[in-house]
Amino acid sequence: MSNQNQPAFPTRQQQPSLNSAHLSQLFVKPFNSALKIKRSVITDDHCVTSQVLVMGINGRVLEIFHRETGQKYALKVNMLIIVYSGILKGRACSNACIGSLFCLIFVFSMDGGELFSHIQDRGNHAFTERGTMKSIGEAIHFLHSINIAHRDIKPENLLYNSKRPDALLRLTDFGFAKEITTLNSLATPCFTSYYVAPEVLGPEKYDRSCDMWCLGVIMYILLCGYPPFFSHHGLAISPGMKRWICKGHYVFPNPEWSDVITKLYFSLASIQKHRNTAI
């Protein structure tokens, strides 16, 4: 199972180099507040509009507003078809019953667009790879701390909540995400070809460290403007590309990398070391 959309990578602009601080400093302790389930009717606090922001496979995403603050949010409406054994007056029905359940998911409205679009829109204004990587690292660290593997971390799934210079970057699209129950418990090859980790392409089961590989690929792209692994024939993933990924073979060609400080090479290469601890 793979997501084969071909993203348009931005051209390399004049950007400050990432500070060479140790990679582990990018990660912080996860947010430990318990999630709260709202049991009241959503229209008590929010005005639900008919404006469809996105039409997904499982349902619509509607634009809604908080009645008191006017803050805009997005409401994802998923309709789930459930097959179950009905119980009537203490006696099991002989036939399975089919019912429907609407699942309302209340999320932030991400008006700032995708990561690359946000960078391009800023033009010559300062952009720091360090701040971006810190935000992505915090999101991954939080997911891993609660035993969740995202499995599809890529720039298209990194959205800003506004177009302001101080906008927050958030990780989205958990369609491939899965809870980790035991070590190396993931088996389905869920990925987008540019960012797929070697173990996901192999025959063995894998773990959440596949997300750390994606982190390294995104860092590479932010610094030079193109991915470390791609097909020269326009394919989503070619045999040669797969071979390079599985061997972990990537290069730092000039002129894009000539102005990147030497210490950064070791920061990128150290992703593999940190992947070994993401279990």
pLDDT per residue as tens digits for the range 126-162: 556 788 899 999 999 999 999 999 999 999 999 998 8
Catalytic residue among 44, 45, 121, 152: 152
Q: Is residue 238 part of a domain?
A: yes
100, 151: one domain: no
Instruction: Judge whether 37 lies within some domain.
Output: no
- pTM tops 0.75, yes or no: no
Structural tokens at position 34: 């318990």
The domain tally of the chain equals 2
218/275: higher pLDDT: 218
Q: Do 80 and 56 fall into the same domain?
A: yes
Same domain? For 200 and 89 the reply is: no
Domain boundary pick from 67, 82, 107: 107
Classify the phi-psi angles of 143: left when phi > 0, otherwise alpha if psi is within -120 to 50, otherwise beta: alpha
My answer on whether 88 and 197 are in the same domain is: no
**Is 45 marked active-site?**
no
In a domain, 33, yes or no: no
| Residue 76 sits in the same domain as residue 201 | no
Of 107, 126, 148, which closes a domain? Answer: 107
Residues 163, 63 within the same domain = no
d(C-alpha 104, C-alpha 171), whole Å? 19
Q: Which domain holds residue 137?
A: 110-275
Yes or no: say if 63 and 72 are a contact pair by the CB < 8 Å rule.
Answer: yes
Q: Is the pLDDT at 2 greater than 80, yes or no? A: no
Question: What pLDDT, in 10s, does the model give residues 14-46?
Answer: 333 333 333 334 344 444 556 666 677 888 888
Give the CATH number of the domain where residue 101 resides.
3.30.200
Identify the domain boundary among 107, 132, 149: 107
Q: How many residues in the chain? A: 279
Element of type H or E holding 94: strand 91-108
> Which of 262, 273, 272, 271 lies closest to 17 in space, CA to CA?
262
DSSP string over 34-86: PP----S-GGGTEEEEEEEEEE-SSEEEEEEEETTT--EEEEEEEEEEEEEEE
For residues 120 and 116, what is the distance between their CA atoms, to the nearest angstrom?
Answer: 6
CA distance 133 to 121: 19
Whether the pLDDT of residue 96 is over 50: the answer is no
237 & 192 share domain: yes
User: 9 lies in a domain?
Assistant: no
* Same domain membership, residue 94 and residue 153: no
Same domain flag for 118 and 255 = yes
Q: Which of 95-99, 123-127, 162-166, 247-251 has the weakest average pLDDT?
A: 95-99
Share of the chain above pLDDT 70, in %: 66
Selected residue with higher pLDDT from 106 and 257? 257
pLDDT of residue 42: 83
Task: Report how far residue 124's alpha carbon sits from residue 160's, in angstroms, rounded to the nearest whole number.
Answer: 19
Higher pLDDT, 59 or 4: 59
Do 170 and 83 share a structural domain? no
Gap between the Cα atoms of 61 and 10, Å rounded: 28
Residue 221 resides in a domain: yes
| Residue 171 neighbours by CB under 8 Å, 6+ apart | 136, 139, 140, 143, 150, 153, 157, 158
Q: What is the CATH number of the domain that holds 163?
A: 1.10.510.10
* Residue 122 scores a pLDDT above 50: yes
Residue 14 in domain: no
Q: Are residues 133 and 263 in the same domain?
A: yes
% residues pLDDT > 90 (the chain): 29
Say yes or no: 67 and 149 in one domain: no
